[in-house]
Structure 1
Amino acid sequence: MAEVVSFKKDAATGQAPISVAVNDGVARLTLANPPANALSIAVMETLMDELDKAAADRDVRVVVIASTGKVFSAGHDLKEMTARRGDGDRGRAFFERTIRLAADLMLKITHLPKPVIAEIDGLATAAGCQLVASCDLAICTDKSTFCTPGVNIGLFCSTPMVAVSRAAHRKQAMEMLLTGETIDASTAKDFGLVNRIVPQEYLSQVVQKYASVIASKSPLTLKIGKEAFYRQIEMPVEEAYDYAARVMVENMLVRDAEEGIGAFLEKRHPEWTGE
């Protein structure tokens, strides 16, 4: 039976911005403030709190970030931000807080010791596209669309650019950032933003299958591997090989690797201890 919990309410809407379900090793965090599922301060703070809880929960192996409604996420809450232009500093302090919080959220996903899968059904735009690009895997419906449209309103998507340019190929990322045009799911897959495209009716089923497969692996191995992936990807190739070799040797010495190799040789299922 899934555990469903409601959390801190958005002061503006009075609604809980995130719903949480934990079942069979998978924590499902659902953006629940349609129609825009905007990344307001309350939403981002709640997401970060729930990611921290998932990281600390030994029973959680994989995190899924999904949404309700027709928009996965429209990015930052522009109404929330515009309302602060009347502040004495024209909103600077609030803008800095919002953008810094978004960066911290994306980094938390990258540094989370557990894989994070984005489940997209609808539009992911601006910081919403950044959220997709920041997740380890992304699976979307054939009706999903993606864009970084800041250039259309005089605000270049500079922070979404960080994640998008690391997920998509360089020229494709620039195409999105310079034109601000919306791309369909097939183009997003060609660009490298998503892993799989599935019919809408099968989306949750496919995501759950991926999550279950990953959740069946050693949690320690997943932690080691995810950290190593993001560290080596920024290194020169020689340095990356030196680093990866050290990681692999240390990985070989942990109990789960000994158990996994032993189970493979003995033709049995491994019993992970996370050690």
Structure 2
Amino acid sequence: MAMTGENTPPVTRRDEGAVAILTLDRPAARNSLSRAMLSALQAALDGVAADRAIRAVVLAAEGPAFCAGHDLKEITARRADPDGGAAFFADTMAACSAVMQAVVALPQPVVAAVQGIATAAGCQLAASCDLVIAASTAKFCTPGVDIGLFCSTPGVALARAVPRKSAMEMLLLGEMVPAEEAQRLGLVNRVVAPEAVLPAALDLAGRIAARSAVAVQMGKRGFNTQAALPLAEAYDAAGRVMVENLLAEDAAEGIGAFVAKRRPEWRHR
């Protein structure tokens, strides 16, 4: 684990080849999503989105928690504002929602490496990622109901990751869901030993990055678009993506390589 201090940015980035590793780095605060953390995460995602050299992303965290959700100490302090905190709360929810949507809209696939608990907006963050690798000791939870604050915004991501009744059970009961149960529900792709979480996420991201970037990025965008549409409209949208993809250089190269029984040489365009 990296050493942290007062001057450590709340989100750090390092690149391994075509994979960017974004790390939540407020372990003493259980990587809670303070406004500074949200701002830093948004900036990191914006930077990755504009970086054509990056073809996959791993979202990791320092310390025993992946992310404990919103910074409740920060929220409580703003109750002393003249409006009782209303403006700050609205801005915070908007900033958080923008970050979650940025993860979904990021051109590159995002693999979450969940090494510890992911609660409330932290569970929302994991659910917003394209793939999730979890430690066998990791747990997921939307416990807002326990403190009189129903996890409504985390429920948006959760409802798009697991079956409706499973999402409602998590939201209504607020109970910890172990990694293996989260995998059964569809919230987690793979469960590994705690020490293998980051290596497994990097391996998965590296395998994605080895594919044609243009195909993967068109595919992610197209999948998310069609998933929100009725059946006939979904097929229309997916068909347009297929045509766009077929016209790309990498599709011509990949199909030609398959026919010629050779390895393709991706140009990522």
Corresponding residue number in structure 2 for 1:153: 147
Corresponding residue number in structure 2 for 1:19: 12
Instruction: Tell me the distance in 1 between the aligned counterparts of 2:18 and 2:60.
Output: 16
Corresponding residue number in structure 2 for 1:82: 76
Please say if residues 158 and 167 of structure 2, whose CA atoms lie closer than 8 Å, have aligned partners that are also in contact. yes
State the aligned residue count.
Answer: 266
- 236-245 or 169-178, larger mean C-alpha shift: 236-245
Corresponding residue number in structure 1 for 2:129: 135
The answer on 1:62 being equivalent to 2:56 is yes
Q: Which amino acid aligns with 1:49?
A: A
Note the C-alpha offset of 1:274: 2.2
TM-score normalised to structure 1 length: 0.94
The answer on 1:124 being equivalent to 2:118 is yes
* Partner deviation per Cα, 1:205-252 (whole Å, 9 max, x = no partner): 211110111000111111110011111011111111122112111211
Residue in structure 2 matching 1:229, options 223, 227, 240: 223
Note the C-alpha offset of 1:14: 4.8
* Partner deviation per Cα, 1:149-179 (whole Å, 9 max, x = no partner): 0000000000000000100111100000000
Instruction: Tell me the distance in 2 between the aligned counterparts of 1:46 and 1:263.
Output: 42
Instruction: Tell me the distance in 2 between the aligned counterparts of 1:87 and 1:65.
Output: 34
- Partner of 2:58, secondary structure, is strand
Please say if residues 11 and 44 of structure 2, whose CA atoms lie closer than 8 Å, have aligned partners that are also in contact. no
Please say if residues 131 and 188 of structure 2, whose CA atoms lie closer than 8 Å, have aligned partners that are also in contact. yes
Corresponding residue number in structure 2 for 1:33: 26
* RMSD of aligned Cα (Å): 1.5
Residue in structure 2 matching 1:204, options 181, 184, 198: 198
Instruction: Tell me the distance in 1 between the aligned counterparts of 2:50 and 2:265.
Output: 21
Instruction: Tell me the distance in 1 between the aligned counterparts of 2:71 and 2:18.
Output: 32
- 147-156 or 50-59, larger mean C-alpha shift: 50-59
Corresponding residue number in structure 2 for 1:144: 138
Note the C-alpha offset of 1:107: 0.4
Q: Which amino acid aligns with 1:263?
A: A
Instruction: Tell me the distance in 2 between the aligned counterparts of 1:53 and 1:15.
Output: 18
Corresponding residue number in structure 2 for 1:219: 213
TM-score normalised to structure 2 length: 0.96
Note the C-alpha offset of 1:268: 2.1
Counterparts of 1:231-270 in structure 2 under 5 Å?
A: 231-270=225-264
- Runs of 5+ consecutive residues of structure 1 not aligned to the other structure: none
Note the C-alpha offset of 1:269: 2.1
- Runs of 5+ consecutive residues of structure 2 not aligned to the other structure: none
Residue in structure 1 matching 2:109, options 115, 137, 161: 115
- Partner of 2:75, secondary structure, is helix
Corresponding residue number in structure 1 for 2:36: 42
Note the C-alpha offset of 1:267: 2.1
Instruction: Tell me the distance in 1 between the aligned counterparts of 2:53 and 2:220.
Output: 18
Q: Which amino acid aligns with 2:158?
A: V
* Partner deviation per Cα, 1:183-209 (whole Å, 9 max, x = no partner): 101111111111000011222221111
- Partner of 1:45, secondary structure, is helix
Corresponding residue number in structure 2 for 1:271: 265
Q: Which amino acid aligns with 2:22?
A: L
User: What percent identity do the matched residue pairs reach?
Assistant: 50
Please say if residues 141 and 175 of structure 2, whose CA atoms lie closer than 8 Å, have aligned partners that are also in contact. yes
